[in-house]
């Protein structure tokens, strides 16, 4: 829906993918794993400092990290069941739609696009 509105309104669209997204998220509780038998130290237990792909809580922890980052950039989360974030600027409104580790930014100018891209890169390595 946002993409259609952006296209019809001739807005700037920028898409990005966060590199190793889940590894950016810190766990707020103790979580231990047992090394698989094929690993150099089979049977050893280790404490995780960050989430790993495949863990049940990985998606939630990553989304909380992303939401905290976007809020620090003055974006407002549209709602609990939405992955859309909005930011009111002097030129209008900038929207970000997220899905897992991908984002799509919609804004009025190339300058806003470049500013937001630079801001996000302060927190995450992104691929266009």
Q: What is the pLDDT of residues 81-114, one digit of tens each?
A: 789 999 998 878 899 999 988 999 999 988 999 9
What does the pLDDT read at residue 29? 78
> CATH says 2-25+56-127 is which class?
alpha beta
Structure letter (DSSP) for residue 34: E
Confidence of residue 79 (pLDDT cuts 50, 70, 90): confident
**Residues 108 and 62: beta-carbon distance below 8 Å:** no
Residue 71: how many CA atoms within 13 Å on its side-chain side? 10
Which pLDDT score is estimated for 33? 80
Q: How far apart are CA 98 and CA 100, in angstroms?
A: 7
Which pLDDT score is estimated for 95?
A: 94
Q: What is the mean pLDDT of residues 18-39?
A: 79
Q: Where are the domains of the chain?
A: 2-25+56-127
For 51-73, the pLDDT digits (tens) are 777 777 788 888 888 999 999 99
The answer, yes or no, to whether residue 42 has pLDDT greater than 70, is: no
pTM for the model: 0.79
Of 16, 23, 11, 10, nearest in space to 97 by CA: 16
């Amino acid at each position: 829906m946002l993409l259609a509105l952006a296209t019809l309104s001739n807005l700037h669209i920028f898409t990005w993918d966060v590199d190793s997204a889940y590894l950016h998220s810190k766990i707020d509780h103790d979580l231990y794993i047992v090394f698989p038998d094929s690993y150099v130290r089979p049977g050893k237990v280790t404490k995780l400092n960050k989430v790993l792909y495949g863990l049940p809580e990985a998606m939630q922890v990553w989304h909380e990290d992303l939401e905290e980052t976007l809020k620090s950039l003055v974006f407002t989360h549209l709602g609990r069941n939405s992955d859309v974030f909005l930011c009111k600027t002097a030129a209008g409104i900038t929207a970000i739609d997220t899905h897992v580790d991908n984002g799509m930014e919609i804004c009025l100018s190339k300058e806003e696009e470049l500013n937001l891209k630079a801001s996000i890169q302060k927190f995450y390595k992104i691929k266009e």
